[in-house]
């Protein structure tokens, strides 16, 4: 039996080291970055292997698994840099932003989504995966959100007047999957704030996702005032792409540990594992609180962020 556990530990160690190496290579080969989404699980697995090595009293295994765990934690912790600053306890809420990907079975449950939006009392709402047959649903929110823009999947609803708006599309893509960014410039009690709804490509399309994150970085660098991004980024904070984006833009991340996907597979409810829906903001803002919405029959969970103005 001891030999079997030694073999299990050795195989786990080899597999973990291989996954970590693949994740590091994502710096040069973006397609490999999909592995980095699972870094926390690799860290847990390495911890379990270390415990097994101690139980087996094998110095060689203890040393090797300890190195694997330490290396995994270092890579993971590097990805946790870039969190938005926490606002003081007495900070006044400047803006509440909610983002929600409608994808899933909620075509039959849009009344629940509308109730959630109303109860959330957000100043602005970013919706992804909005389709033509959702038009009546969007219109039903008109009394709460008289200012709204959007089409082709991305909508922004606002209680504050919209001064300007625009979009960024993927070149050479069909209409239904071309939209990357939909942005508005809001007049928030006399303060101009740019809010951009974001929906990046899934990691199963690595070249497209890489192009999307580069386009988003260019958009951010072109802004010179208060800026908020909200939406479905389809990547976790500890991926190479997201780490690089955070470093080059200087934006603060609001959601790090709250998993938003997958909430379901077809009709089967699931336990969400990955925080791929997020809010980012420029240095003009601090995080009062960030929380998740309830299950709404989507495969995503909503993110609600309260922002304080600190400039």
CATH number of 95-309, picked from 3.30.360.10, 3.60.10.10, 3.40.50.2020, 1.10.3720.10: 3.60.10.10
Reported as type and span, the H/E element at residue 18 is: helix 2-25
Are the C-beta atoms of 101 and 129 separated by less than 8 Å?
A: yes
Residues of the chain with CATH 3.60.10.10: 95-309
Q: Residue 305: exposed, middle, or buried by beta-carbon count in 10 A (0-12, 13-18, 19+)?
A: buried
Residues of the chain with pLDDT under 50: none
Write down the pTM of the prediction: 0.94
Q: Which two tokens stand for residue 194?
A: 């740019």
Q: How far apart are the first and last CA of the chain?
A: 63
Nearest alpha-carbon partner for 79 in 42, 119, 123, 124: 42
pLDDT confidence of residue 155: 95
Determine contact, residues 98/304, Cβ cutoff 8 Å. Answer: yes
Determine the Cα–Cα distance for residues 183 and 149; give it in Å rounded to an integer: 9
Distance of CA 295 to the CA centre of its chain: 17
Distance CA 129, CA 103 (A): 6
- The residue assigned the tokens 């802004």 is 223
Plot region of 61 (φ>0 → left; ψ -120 to 50 → alpha; else → beta): alpha
Residue-level pLDDT at 137? 87
| CA torsion, ordered 158, 277, 248, 201, to nearest 10 deg | -100
Q: What is the pLDDT of residue 311?
A: 72
Element (H, E) at 229: strand 227-232
CB contact set of 61 (below 8 Å; sequence gap of 6+): 6, 9, 10, 13, 49, 52, 53
| Residue 237, token pair as written in the block | 């904070």
- Distance between CA atoms of 8 and 3, rounded to whole angstroms? 9
| Coil vs helix vs strand at 260 | coil
Structure tokens given for 193: 């704030």
CA 220 to each of CA 215, 235, 249, 251: distance values in angstroms, whole numbers, following the listed order: 9, 18, 7, 9
């Amino acid at each position: 039996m001891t030999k079997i556990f030694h073999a299990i530990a050795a195989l786990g160690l080899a597999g973990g080291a291989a996954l970590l190496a693949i994740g590091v290579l994502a710096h040069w080969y973006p397609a490999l970055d999909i592995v980095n989404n699972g870094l926390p699980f690799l860290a847990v697995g390495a911890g379990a292997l270390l415990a097994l090595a101690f139980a087996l009293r094998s110095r060689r295994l203890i040393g090797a698994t300890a190195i694997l765990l330490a290396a995994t934690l270092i890579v993971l912790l590097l990805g946790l840099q870039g969190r938005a600053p926490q606002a003081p306890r007495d900070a006044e809420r400047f803006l509440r932003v909610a983002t929600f990907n409608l994808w899933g079975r909620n075509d039959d449950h849009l009344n629940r989504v509308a109730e959630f939006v109303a109860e959330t009392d957000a100043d602005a709402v970013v919706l992804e995966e909005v389709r033509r047959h959702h038009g009546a649903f969007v219109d039903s929110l008109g009394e709460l959100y008289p200012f709204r823009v959007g089409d082709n999947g991305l909508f922004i609803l606002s209680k504050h007047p919209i001064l300007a708006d625009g979009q960024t599309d993927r070149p050479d893509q069909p209409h239904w999957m071309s939209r990357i960014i939909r942005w508005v410039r809001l007049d928030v009690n006399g303060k101009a704030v740019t809010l951009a709804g974001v929906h990046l490509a899934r990691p199963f399309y690595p070249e497209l996702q890489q192009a999307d994150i580069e386009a988003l970085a260019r958009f951010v660098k072109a802004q010179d005032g208060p800026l908020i991004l909200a939406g479905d980024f389809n990547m976790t904070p500890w991926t190479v792409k997201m780490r690089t984006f955070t470093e080059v833009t200087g934006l603060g991340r609001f959601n790090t540990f709250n998993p938003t996907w997958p909430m379901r597979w077809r009709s089967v409810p699931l336990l969400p594992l990955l925080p791929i829906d997020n809010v980012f903001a420029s240095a003009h803002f601090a995080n009062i609180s960030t929380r998740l919405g309830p299950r709404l029959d989507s495969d995503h969970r909503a993110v609600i962020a309260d922002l304080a103005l600190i400039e």
